[in-house]
C-alpha cells in the first residue's frame, strides 16, 4: 500500500498545487477585476495602487496563476507565502490571537500551503517539469529534484 501511495505522490502534489493556485488566483481576480463578486460582493475592485490591498491582490493573481501552471512554482509560492504571512500578522492577528477568532484561517492556510510548495516544487503536471524534461533532452544536466520521503 505504501509503495502505491508513494508512486502517486507527484500526481497528488500536482493536483494540490493546481487547486491551491486556482483558489489563490481567484482571490486576486476578484479584488483586481471585480469578477466572482469582487471585493464587496457587488463587483467592486481594490483601488489601484492602494497599500496593501491592491498589491496583495496583484500577488494573488500573478503568483496564483504561476502556481496553477506550475511555472516558477517555488519562487511564486515563496512570495505568496510571505504575502499571506504579512496579511495574517498585520490584518488578522491584531484583532485576536487565534485564527478562528480573527477570521484569519484563509490567510494562515494559504501561507502554509504555499510554504509547503516552496519545498516540494510543482509535482507532476506542471510546466516546470515539461521545461526540465526538454532541457535534459537537449543535453543539459537535470536539476536535482527528488520527492521528500518521510
Q: Which whole-number Å values give the CA distances from 14 to 9, 18, 45, 62, in the listed order?
A: 8, 6, 31, 18
User: If you ran DSSP here, which 8-state letter would residue 92 be given?
Assistant: I
Q: 23-62: per-residue pLDDT in tens?
A: 999 999 998 898 888 777 778 887 888 888 889 999 999 9
Residue 67 in contact with residue 118, Cβ under 8 Å? Answer: no
C-alpha cell of 26?
481567484
How many C-beta atoms surround the C-beta of residue 64 within 10 A?
25
The residue-averaged pLDDT of 56-78 equals 96
Looking at residue 139, its pLDDT comes to 65
pLDDT of 144 over the 70 cut: no
φ/ψ of residue 104, rounded to 5: -100, 15
Count the residues in the chain.
150
pLDDT of 79 over the 90 cut: yes
Q: 94-114: per-residue pLDDT in tens?
A: 999 899 999 999 999 999 999
Looking at residue 64, its pLDDT comes to 97
d(CA 115, CA 85): 10
Amino acid at each position: 500500500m505504501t509503495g502505491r501511495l508513494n508512486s502517486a505522490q507527484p500526481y497528488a502534489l500536482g493536483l494540490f498545487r493546481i487547486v491551491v493556485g486556482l483558489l489563490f488566483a481567484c482571490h486576486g481576480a476578484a479584488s483586481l477585476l471585480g469578477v466572482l463578486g469582487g471585493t464587496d460582493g457587488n463587483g467592486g475592485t481594490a483601488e489601484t495602487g492602494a497599500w496593501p490591498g491592491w498589491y496583495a491582490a496583484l500577488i494573488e493573481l500573478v503568483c496564483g496563476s504561476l502556481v496553477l501552471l506550475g511555472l516558477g512554482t517555488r519562487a511564486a509560492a515563496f512570495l505568496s507565502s510571505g504575502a499571506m504571512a504579512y496579511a495574517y500578522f498585520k490584518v488578522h492577528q491584531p484583532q485576536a490571537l487565534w485564527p478562528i477568532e480573527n477570521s484569519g484561517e484563509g490567510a494562515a492556510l494559504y501561507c502554509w500551503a504555499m510554504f509547503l510548495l516552496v519545498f516540494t516544487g510543482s509535482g507532476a503536471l506542471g510546466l516546470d517539469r515539461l521545461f526540465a524534461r526538454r532541457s535534459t533532452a537537449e543535453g543539459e544536466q537535470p536539476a536535482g529534484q527528488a520527492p521528500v520521503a518521510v
